[in-house]
Amino acid sequence: MCRVCLYVTHAALPHLLRAAEDSPRGVADLVNISSTAGRVARPGTAVYNLTKFGVNGFTEALRQELSQKRVRVSVVEPGTVETELSMHLRDGVRQAVERQIAGMEPLRPEDVADAVSYIVTRDRRVAVNEILVRAGEQTW
């Protein structure tokens, strides 16, 4: 699992707990970003799958631990998003990904932001635990 999630959560948690007690809304939100790779493994992406499955498990455990303290913990799992991610893959894997998404209109970063916005704007009584959002043509 990615250490950044641990470090950021550790740093943010005291502030979130305080916000849940002191804010007029009476709730605070922690939203992690994962991926469809946290649900479906693909050849050549084992390390990426490891991190995303880890984010999903970490998020669920935190959700259970913090729900009674009015800190809602959620995860957004986007599919193919228009980013530079494929530029960091080794050649064979990058070419396979490019073939797989050829002709697909990927999600835009603002689509992921919309999912986060939806989660954090729900009334206190509503907890959206996860949102899976894929490009329209994406099958995995």
pLDDT score of 2 = 78
Residue 9 has pLDDT above 60, yes or no: yes
pLDDT score of 52 = 96
Output the pTM of the full model: 0.90
Convert the pLDDT of each residue in 36-84 to its tens digit. Answer: 999 999 887 899 899 999 999 999 999 999 999 999 999 999 999 987 6
Convert the pLDDT of each residue in 80-112 to its tens digit. Answer: 998 766 666 677 777 777 777 788 899 999 999
Lowest pLDDT segment from 3-7, 28-32, 60-64, 118-122: 3-7
The total of other beta-carbon atoms located within 10 Å of residue 119's CB is: 22
Q: Which two tokens stand for residue 60?
A: 């669920």
Cβ–Cβ < 8 Å for 44, 92:
yes
pLDDT score of 1 = 57
- The average pLDDT across 30-34 equals 97
pLDDT score of 66 = 98
Report DSSP letters for 61-123, one per residue: HHHHHHGGGTEEEEEEEE-SBSSSGGGGS-HHHHHHHHHHHTT--PBPHHHHHHHHHHHHTS-
Cβ–Cβ < 8 Å for 3, 55:
no
List residues with catalytic annotation: 48
pLDDT score of 85 = 67
